[in-house]
Structures are given as C-alpha cells and as structure tokens.
Amino acid sequence: MRWLFSFLALALFCVVNARSFTGSRLLVVLEEESEREKYGVFLGDLESRGFTITTLTPKSESLSLFKHGARAYDHLLLLPTKSKGLGPALTANLLLDFMKKEGNVLLALSAETGTPTAVQSLLLEVDIHIPSDRNALVVDHFNYDSTSAAEKHDVLLLPFPKPARSDVKDYFGGEGVIAVPRAVGQTLGNESPLLAPILKAPSTAYSYNPKDEADIVEEPFAVGQQLNLVSAMQSLNSARLTVLGSAEALQNAWFAEKATLAGKAVKTANRDFAAKLSSWAFKETGVLKVGKLTHYLNEGSSKKLNSSSALPENNPKIYRIKNDVAFQIEVSEYTSTHLTPFELPPNDILQLEFSMLSPFHRLNLSPISQTANSTIFGASFRTPDQHGIFNFAVKYNRPFLTGIEEKRQVTVRHFAHDEWPRSWQISAAWVWIAGIWVTVAGWVVFVGVWLYSAPVGAAVKGGKKTQ
Amino acid sequence: MAATEGDQFLKQATGPKTRGLLRVIILVLIAGAAVSSRLFSVIRFESIIHEFDPWFNFRATKYLVANGFYDFWDWFDDRTWHPLGRVTGGTLYPGLMVTSGVIYHFLRFLTLPVDIRNICVLLAPAFSGLTAFATYLLTNEMVSSPSAGLLAAAFMGITPGYISRSVAGSYDNEAIAIFLLVFTFFLWIKAVKLGSMFWGALTALFYGYMVSAWGGYVFITNLLPLHAFVLICMGRYSPRLYVSYTSWYALGTLASMQIPFVGFLPIRSSEHMSALGVFGLIQLVAFVEFVRAQLPSKQFQTLLRALVVLIFVVAVGGLVLLTVGGVIAPWTGRFYSLWDTGYAKIHIPIIASVSEHQPTAWPAFFFDLNLMIFLFPAGVYMCFRTLTDEQVFIVIYSVLASYFAGVMVRLMLTLTPIVCVAAAMAFSQILDTYLDAKTPKVDAKTAENGSSEPAKVAAAAVLSDGLRSTRNPLVGIYSYASRVTVVGFSAIYLLIFVLHCTWVTSNAYSSPSVVLASRLPDGSQHIIDDYREAYYWLRQNTPENAKIMSWWDYGYQIGGMADRPTLVDNNTWNNTHIATVGKAMSSKEEVSYPIMRQHEVDYVLVVFGGLLGYSGDDINKFLWMVRIAEGIWPEEVKERSFFTPRGEYRVDEGATDTMKNSLMYKMSYYNYNSLFPAGQAQDRVRNVRLPSEGPQLNVIDEAFTSENWIIRIYKVKDLDNFGRDHHSAVSFDKGHKKKRAAKRKGPKVLRVE
C-alpha cells in the first residue's frame, strides 16, 4: 500500500511540476551542442517551466522520436541546422507520425541556413508555404531596426499580435516590440481550417531574395499581410505545429536588446513573446478539457433535480420521442498550471447538436454554473418526433484552442403500446365508446326481451319453432 | 399379440378400434419420417440456424426470451438500419418467435433447460409432423377413403416442395405457417360442412395465429371469400355457409388486427377487400333468402339476380373510388408482381433482386413434387366428378396456387399442400380400386372373405349406375395379373418417390448456406467456414457499436452472428436507405466517403468469390446495387456506364472506368494480385484474367480477409489528421513527396481570416 501511495505522490509531483498539459519531455534538435548557448535563456526559461530538455543533433545516434512505438518525447523544438537533410530519424513522415501521436512541434526556421528538405515537405503537407529560395527573407523598409539593420532592413520590429477576429481568444498579446531578424516568411493555404497565423508581417513587408534581385520585381513570393512570420497548424487531434520564421528571435542576443524603430529607442520584448509562443506551442495554454458530460430525462418525477428522492438516471441509453431532455457539459481551460473555468470569447457560442444524419436541433449551450476549475454549459430541449439513433454532439474547433469533439449516441424510440393516451382521454373517441356500450346494452336488452316475450301459444306447441 | 393383430389385419376383420390405433401408429410414423428426413443438415453440419431471414428470427426470439413479451412488443431495434433504427416489434410477424418462446418456457417449466437455439433449429421439423397430421385431417374431409388421408399425410411429410422451407435450422415464418395454413383450411371445410359457429370461430382463431406468423395469410384471406363467392354463384348458398363465413370473417378480422404490423390493413388495403366484399354480399344474399322464404314467387328469382349484380357493381365501383381517393391503400408492388412478372423488374428492382421472387422454372415442379405433379390433375378431375362444397374448394385452391407457384418460386410452398391432397386422392383411388380383392360379380368366387368397407364405397362412387352399360356389373377387375401389375407399379412409383424426396432433401435443401461444403478430390468433405470466421472476427475485434456497411443480404447474419449494428438488412423496408448503400458501393471513393461518414460507418464488408469460384458474391449482385441506386439517383449512378460499349459486364482489363473506380470493384480485387504471379491474377467465378495492376484504396483500409477470401472487411479511415484529402495522404505515406506547385496561372488567391 505504501509503495502505491508513494508512486501516486510521485506521479502527482510530476504532474504538478510539468506546466504543459500533455507532458514535459522536450527534445531540442540543433546543429551542435555548442549552439545551445545561443538559446540559453530561452531553454533556461523552458526548464524553469518544468520541461525536461534533451538536446540532440541530427547526427546523434540516439536521436529517435519514438521508443517501442510510442512517443519518446512530448514536444519537439527544431532549431535550424546547416545540413540540407535532417537524417533518417527526422523525416517528414516521422514528424507527421509524431504529430499523429499528439506530439507538438515548434519549428524555427532561419533564412541564413536554409530549410531542410524534410521540413520543407512537412510544411507542404500541411499547406504552409515558404519561399523556394534558401535565402529568401522578409524585408520591411518601414518597421526595421535601424540599429542593427540600417542597410538591409531585414530586422523587423513589430508590436505583439492582436487576435484577427473578435471571437478568437488572445494568447500572444503583450507590451513592447518583438524583433524578428531575418525571418523566413510563410503563406498559408486557403483550404485548410486547421491553419492560423500568429504573427503577420506588416503590410509594408515583402519576401526578398538577396541572391536574385530580379525575382522580387517579377513575382514576389508574398507581400504584406499575406506573409506570416509565425504561423500555427493545429491538427484534428490537437497536436500543434508552430512555425517560427526566425529562429534568431529566440536567441539570447535578441531577448532584451536595444533597438531603434523609426528613430525611437525601444527595447525588444522577445523573451516575453518566446515564452508566450512556446507555452502555446507546448500546450500550456489554449487547452480545453471536457469534464463530466451528462444528459438525462428532464420530466415527470425526475424533473426535481436536487431533491434526493428522485435523481434522474444519468446518461441513459434510450429516450422516447417527445421527451424533455437536459444536457450538460463541463468544460475547463488549462492555463499554465491548473484548470480554470472556460470562458467563451465574446461573440462566440458553444453549440449542441442533436442529430441523426443531419441535426434535428442545434442549440446554444449557455453557462449554467461554475465550479472551481470548470464551467458547466447546459441546454434542455424536447426530442424530435422521429425515432432513430441520435447523437448528442458538441463540436468546438477554434483557432488556438484544442478542439472539442464529443459525441454520445442515444436511441430515441417510439411510443410503447401503453404510452398512448387511453381512449376515454380523447374527446373525439367518446362517440365511438358510447356506440360500443349502446350496442352492448342493446344486445342485453334484446336478449331479455326475446327470452321473456315468446308467444305463449307457440311456446306450448314447441320451442323448436323459435329457431 | 402382434402376430394375432397381423393376422386380423390380413383377414381384414379389424374392428374400428384396431383401425384407429393403426391409423395413429401410421400417423406417428409419418411424423417421425417427416422429422427425421429434415435432420440431414444437423447431422452433416451442426445445429445451426440457416441462411438469412432465420438469423433475424433467431435474434428476435432471443430478445423475446431475454426481455419478455411486452418489451418484445415495443421493441425498438437500434442495431439495424443505422441510424434510422427499426420499430421491430411493430414490423414483424411475431407468431414464430412467440411459439418458440412458449415452447421454451414450457420446457423450462417442466425443468428441461433446453437452449433456445435448439428449439429454434428443431421447430420447423417438429411442425412438419403437425402439418402431415393436418393434411390427413383435410384430406379426410374431402373423401371417404381413409387411405387417401394417410397417403396425403405421407406425401406432405416428405415432399421436397415443403422440405425446402422446413429443414432443421430453417427457422423461418413458413416453418409454422404451412401447418397453420393447412389446419385453417381443414377447420374451414369442417365449418362449411357443419355450418357450425364453433368451427367457424376455431377457423378464425387459427387464422389469427396464421396472421401473426406469416405475411402469406393473405392467401387465406382471399381464398376463403373466393370459395364462398363461388359457392354463392353456383347457387349453393346455405345457412351453413352464412354461419361459417360470417363467424370466420368477423372474428378473424378482429384477430388479425391485433398484430401491429397488420393493424388496420384488413379494412384499408386492397388485398383484403375481397373478404370484406363477400362478407357484405353474403349478408345481402342471406337477406334475400330470408325474404324469399317469406314470399315465394317466380319473379323473385329475377329480382334477386338483378339485385346481386347491382350490388356487385356498386361495391366494385365504390372500391375503385375509395382506392383512387386514397382511403384504401392500393395494391403493393409485391402484389402487382404476382400478375405481371415483368412489373418488378421495371418498377421495384429490390423485389426483383431476390432470387425467390423469380418466376419458377418448369423443372422445379418435377424437382419439388415429383410424381405428384402428374397425379395432381387427376385428383382435381376427381373433384369435378362429385362436386361437393369442399371439393369446390380443392378446385379453386389448386387453380390459384398453380398460378402463383408459376409466378414466384417461393409460392411453390402454398401449392404443395393441395398437390399432396389431390395426388393422394387420385392415388388412393387407384389403390382402392385395384387392391380390392373382391371380384365385382356377385356370383364370382369370394376367395378372400370380407372387403374393406371404404373401398367398396369408393368403388361405388366410381361406378355410377346411371349408364346402361354399367347397369350390369360387367365393369371390374377380374384378373389378379392386372391387379398385381398396377399395384406393383404403384408401389414402385411410391418407392421411387421416396428415393427422390430423400435425394433432393439431402442434396439440395440441407445446406445451411452459412457453412459451405465442398468435396475434396479424394471424396472427403471439406467445410468452407468463411462466413462465420469473418463474423466472429467482427464480434471479437471491433467495438460493440461499430457500424458495418454491407449489401443488405448479409444484414441479418451480421446482426445475428457478429452482433454489430448494420445499415441495411433483409427487412427491406426502406428502399432509399438501401439505395444509399448501393450508391456508396457503386460510386468513386471520393463520393462514397462522405456517405459513409454521414452514416458513421466503421467497417465495410464485401463478399468476394473470385478465389474459390463462389458465384453468389457481391460482384455478381453488383448490378442490382447499381439499379437500386439508380432508381433514387438517376443522375449520379448509371447502369449503362458499368457496361462496356459493346454491352458486356466485364471485370477484367476491358472493364469500364466507372466499374474500375467503384468502391465495390476496388474492395473486391484489392491486393488480389498478390496471390498470383505477376499478371496471372484470375477470377474463378467470371473466368477472366484481371488487370496486372490492382486497384488502390484511399479512404478505407483492409482490416480482415477470410481464409478463402470470401469475406473481406475494410475499415473506414478517419478524416486526415492534417486536413489533407485521403488520396494525397496515402501517396505521401507511400513516399511520393508532394511537388511544389509550379507557378500558378492566374491571379493569386489571397487568404482572408
């Protein structure tokens, strides 16, 4: 018993210690061990947030994302390497497999070293596009740092990003400017709903290849707001792939650097941004968790929920048509250390569908109550006049939030033979009921009359004649 | 003791008691023969439910036994017709299940804990014994000779036409329905003969039981009124007929309306209108008879005729008007296809696709009825000679049933009882005539003392003394040689009949079709058990709620053996849903996938016989899927595009693109190449060589293939985790890296948040 307890305590300790919702094992892949120094502050911050960091180079023998078919790490930080390939342990297929098993990837690109082919094809698969030239970088003649890039204008100074829409939660806001030196700009495909930009380039920026002057004149890769400096892809299983255009922005050198923006001296806030970005990328923020999900018959004796005598059966497998049903779902949001009640962004709603082939009901779930670490959303409705196998479905997929896809199958049956109203309760049937009884009474009367009114004379002659 | 009895029998000095005992013994032996000849399948294979529909009946019986009668009555089945479900309690004929349930509980009451499966397996043979008895009773009502009844019982017991639907394990509605059919007819004849309200009520009772057991009850519903109508038209109206018909109709209709599946059909649907019409007619006739009894006059006859004709016209006119007005449901498609064999093929492919709804081939009559099919007309002819009320019934029954049996293979079953009865009458006539040891002449030597009384009567019936030539008893069989010849040949025919019946039963009707048997070169039996292998795989390796999509033929079996929800099954109540499955099977993967997602399909099951040469596979049924789907989506699924320009249905290199891209084709032949050397893949059902390049699958994964490749199961993939379409996801997994899109033509598409 004691060992079990200590084991539990240890497990609890680990859970408390790790700030990420999914685990604390972080693999950092970089060119060589000495590079680690450059990112020392960032990695130190991560370590202080509870991550256990393993640093490996692509050439390392022990580099493998999987062990015994399961993930060996929970998160992967891929810093730029000089080599063109990343070796057999980090192919695009393996990276996708890593994400299929809910591993998160933070991908830092660099215009100086170029992007490895594995990463290129990985990005192509998820419909994120980067310039085909190895050295293309983002240039802006208006928002550059005139201290370090007075000539080249390739160090961008940008404010913290704001949510693109009002119904999206803000996880990357902050005060100050972010320095994005020599970034690889990305464009996002239009088809996939899984992609979201985190940091867009200003409208005056463009992608520029210093090796090929002509290219920019003919057809630039992308310009202005179409160009993203940081973008994110959250797959259906909520594994996150974050693409950071400039790995340099994570380096110690840029974490609190003096810079000049349009003649004004500013201090870069890269450390703050890196913390926010990595905590989102490694699922410390923006993680939703569904707690208890209940539905119950909300009528008759079971309607009095709180009376101890008549607690309704929770989550029954079967309802009847035209039943009053209540549905509740408990949603919490994980923020860095603990679960908090999930609050919907303004202008956004959580919806419940009651569907068979297509939704018969699509209802807004309204917050009913809050516990210490969750919000309970609920709705009640009447099951449709259609029997079949229905699903309670809650689907909530929003940018920067892990998806909620809950489905509970219930059967909605027809009226049983003894659930219809009795005949005398239907006023239109009274005529027919009266008819039945009149016939019965008439028959009895007739029999009586027949028996007692036989003609006396005939009866004497013989009863056979009455036949 | 036995010796003395035999001696007495030989001397034909048996008393009525001994003869009664003998009859009982003979009937018991016939029942024993009937039961035992149906046990081939249990002995050869095992005690297993056969075919398709019996699996549903078995499952329903298990539900009834487990949950009780009221739950069964209100049963909403959420494991079939996903996601529509089926109001099973209200859409089945519960008689069969309830019968088994009652037997089950009775045996348990006797502390005999018998597995419900064994009751279900052996129910049909047990009831075939009862059917033989009912046939005996029915035949006895027709003729005076008791030997005819015993012969009819023996015929009924072993004729393949009935065995085809009642071997052990064939747990279908017909198992008990044929007994009820024959017994109801017996009761009806009895009622008409006696004019007894009691027998009429008994007829109604068994009619009610029949309604609860089989949709074929409509046959009785129309035959009895027709009988009454013909009798009225022949001027044979009698109070007996009135009493029996009205008591049957009133009580029987009430009884039939208690079955939820039938409900108000008896007063609303066209199939039942003849019974209602004759009921009205007989009231009128009775009234007219009554009036005539009060005022006898010559003019009354004409008045009566005019009245009958008028009423008839008004009734038919009213019926037509009500049908047009929609008050009375028009005839169903199945009914139309009884009159026009081409109707179903054009209008309702789903009915035409069932093999047992096809018109009967001529050899089938001989195959199922053997020598009886020749004796049958003779028996009917004999009925014409002494046309009593009950023999009119035989004539009507045989005419109707012969027609229906010619239209639908399945209805051979309703023909069989009357064939047995008529054949037995004819045969017993022969035997009675020739076995009569007494020479007809009075002064002829009376070598053998005594003659069988019934034979005498029968002979008297044959020899009417109205004609001059027969006034003197010159006609008769005098020589023993002719007697021995005829009787001997008859016996030989009977023996051949028995041989034939046994042979047919053993070879044609005793295969469970769940388990296939084949012969190895050395003659030993080899069991092909792919169906159960696959169904048990599903049962043990998939989540309990995994939805299985397959063609509807296998729905009941999946439900029964694999216990998994299915999309469609053999209860083909929703044509659109079946067409949806047909569309998913016959379309491209990209079209099928959204359909399968919408219906939450987890696994797809196909039957493929190409490796083994098993011809009842899905590719051979494929055109029906296409046709049924085309009936609902004529724009999207076209039967023509599955045929080559020369009009051939091909699966080899020359198959059309639509065919090659259809999900069914791909699922059938996926990976099939890998069994053969390159380019040698051979389909042994259609005897063609397949293309060297096998089909590729994107939206489903192969999950299971049975030993002989008869059943193949595929798992439907989830949506791609990264939002790609399945085609590109699969090609990426195979190592084809996506090419960077070349410079696009036209303006760039900008992304908007």
pLDDT for the residue B439 = 59
Is B753 in contact with A197 (Cβ distance < 8 A)? yes
Q: How far is A387 from chain B (nearest CA, A)?
A: 7
Higher pLDDT, A388 or B334: A388
pLDDT for the residue B322 = 80
Higher pLDDT, A211 or A186: A186
User: Any idea what the Cα angle at residue B448 is, between residues B445 and B452, rounded to 5°?
Assistant: 115
Nearest CB to A235; choose among B87, B260, B722: B722
Instruction: Check if B443 contacts A (Cβ < 8 Å).
Output: no
pLDDT for the residue B1 = 37
Section B96-102 average pLDDT: 94
B549 in Cβ contact with B582 (< 8 Å): no
Each residue of A323-366: pLDDT tens digit?
A: 999 999 999 999 888 899 999 988 899 999 999 999 999 999 99
Is B723 in contact with A126 (Cβ distance < 8 A)? yes
From CA B386, how far away is CA A408, in angstroms rounded? 71
Is B84 in contact with A356 (Cβ distance < 8 A)? yes
Q: Which two tokens mark A246?
A: 């400039």
Q: CA quadruple B174, B180, B182, B185: dihedral positive or negative?
A: negative
Domains of chain A: 2-281 (3.40.50), 287-413 (2.60.40.10)
In Å, how far from its chain's centre is CA B114? 27
Is B722 in contact with A233 (Cβ distance < 8 A)? yes
Each residue of B128-182: pLDDT tens digit?
A: 999 999 999 999 988 887 788 999 999 999 999 899 888 888 899 988 999 999 9
Q: Please state, in angstroms and as integers, the Cα–Cα distance from residue B395 to each residue in A407, B366, B374, B377, following that order.
A: 63, 21, 16, 10
CB neighbour list of residue B336: distance below 8 Å, 6 or more residues apart = B343, B344, B347
Instruction: Check if A166 contacts B (Cβ < 8 Å).
Output: no
In percent, the amount of chain A with pLDDT more than 90 equals 41
From CA B560, how far away is CA B572, in angstroms rounded? 17
* Chain A residues with CB-CB distance to B260 below 8 A: 417
Is A387 in contact with B85 (Cβ distance < 8 A)? yes
Is B85 in contact with A411 (Cβ distance < 8 A)? yes
B528 in Cβ contact with B515 (< 8 Å): yes
pLDDT confidence of A261, banded at 50, 70, 90? Answer: confident
Is A100 in contact with B738 (Cβ distance < 8 A)? no
Section A106-129 average pLDDT: 88
Is A233 in contact with B78 (Cβ distance < 8 A)? no
CB-based burial label for B479 (10 Å; 0-12, 13-18, 19+): exposed
pLDDT for the residue A6 = 59
From CA B508, how far away is CA B524, in angstroms rounded? 18
pLDDT for the residue B548 = 94
Query: Residue A240's closest chain B neighbor by CA?
Result: B722
**Element holding B715 (H helix, E strand):** strand B711-716
B182 in Cβ contact with B56 (< 8 Å): no
pLDDT for the residue A311 = 58
Indicate whether this model's pTM tops 0.80: yes
Taking a contact as any Cβ pair under 8 Å apart, which residues of chain A between 3 and 42 contact chain B?
none
CB-based burial label for B312 (10 Å; 0-12, 13-18, 19+): middle
**What value does the CA radius of gyration of chain A take, rounded to a whole number of Å?**
35
Instruction: Check if A390 contacts B (Cβ < 8 Å).
Output: yes
pLDDT for the residue B446 = 38
Q: How far is B340 from chain A (nearest CA, A)?
A: 36
* Chain A residues with CB-CB distance to B751 below 8 A: 187-190, 226
From CA A412, how far away is CA A410, in angstroms rounded? 6
Instruction: Check if A132 contacts B (Cβ < 8 Å).
Output: yes
Q: Which of A123-137, A383-397, B142-156, B371-385 has the highest mean pLDDT?
A: A383-397
Section B434-462 average pLDDT: 52
B566 in Cβ contact with B548 (< 8 Å): yes
Instruction: Check if A203 contacts B (Cβ < 8 Å).
Output: no
Helix (H, G, I), strand (E, B) or coil at B269: strand
Query: Residue B742's closest chain A neighbor by CA?
Result: A132
User: Any idea what the Cα angle at residue B12 is, between residues B7 and B16, rounded to 5°?
Assistant: 105
pLDDT confidence of A193, banded at 50, 70, 90? Answer: confident
From CA B490, how far away is CA B492, in angstroms rounded? 5
Nearest CB to A388; choose among B84, B90, B743: B84
From CA A163, how far away is CA A156, in angstroms rounded? 20
DSSP secondary structure letter of residue B270:
G
From CA B77, how far away is CA B71, in angstroms rounded? 11
Q: Which residue in this structure is represented by tokens 């000089």? A: A82
Each residue of B397-440: pLDDT tens digit?
A: 999 999 888 888 888 889 999 999 999 999 988 888 887 766 55
Query: Residue B720's closest chain A neighbor by CA?
Result: A236
Helix (H, G, I), strand (E, B) or coil at B517: strand
Long-range contacts of B490-497 (CB under 8 A, 24+ apart): B490/B427, B490/B430, B490/B431, B490/B434, B493/B371, B494/B371, B494/B427, B496/B370, B496/B371, B497/B370, B497/B371, B497/B372
A287 in Cβ contact with A338 (< 8 Å): no
Q: Which of A178-187, B332-341, B462-471, B517-526 has the highest mean pLDDT?
A: A178-187
Is A239 in contact with B70 (Cβ distance < 8 A)? no
Phi, psi of A335 (to 5 degrees): -125, 105
CB neighbour list of residue B52: distance below 8 Å, 6 or more residues apart = B553, B554, B556, B557, B570
* Chain A residues with CB-CB distance to B747 below 8 A: none
Q: Where in chain B is the domain with CATH 3.40.50.12610?
A: 527-733
Tell me if the bond preceding B160 is cis, omega within 30° of 0. Answer: no
Q: Per-residue pLDDT for B469 more than 90?
A: no
Q: Please state, in angstroms and as integers, the Cα–Cα distance from residue B602 to each residue in B554, B700, B716, B722, B730, following that order.
A: 16, 10, 5, 20, 19
pLDDT for the residue A453 = 84
- Which of A44-53, A93-102, A253-262, A372-381 comes out lowest in average pLDDT? A253-262
pLDDT confidence of A464, banded at 50, 70, 90? Answer: very low
DSSP secondary structure letter of residue B547:
E
Residue of A99, A385, A413, A439 to mutate when probing chain B, most B C-beta within 10 A: A413
CB neighbour list of residue B508: distance below 8 Å, 6 or more residues apart = B160, B164, B367
Instruction: Check if A466 contacts B (Cβ < 8 Å).
Output: no
* A to B CB pairs, distance under 8 Å: 97
From CA A290, how far away is CA B137, in angstroms rounded? 71
Q: Which two tokens mark B84?
A: 């529509």
Residues in chain B: 753
Q: Which two tokens mark B46?
A: 């095992």
B548 in Cβ contact with B599 (< 8 Å): no
CB-based burial label for B323 (10 Å; 0-12, 13-18, 19+): middle
Phi, psi of B533 (to 5 degrees): -55, -45
**What value does the CA radius of gyration of chain B take, rounded to a whole number of Å?**
31
Q: How far is B75 from chain A (nearest CA, A)?
A: 8
Each residue of A289-320: pLDDT tens digit?
A: 999 999 999 876 544 444 444 556 788 899 99
Instruction: Check if B719 contacts A (Cβ < 8 Å).
Output: yes
From CA A415, how far away is CA A411, in angstroms rounded? 13
Query: Residue A227's closest chain B neighbor by CA?
Result: B751
Task: Specify the CATH number for B527-733; select among 3.30.1370.100, 3.40.50.970, 1.20.1510.10, 3.40.50.12610.
Answer: 3.40.50.12610
**Start-to-end C-alpha separation, chain A:** 94
pLDDT for the residue B263 = 87
Q: What is the ipTM score, two decimals?
A: 0.86
pLDDT for the residue B666 = 92
pLDDT for the residue A458 = 53
Question: Beta strands B525-528 and B516-519: pairing type?
Answer: antiparallel
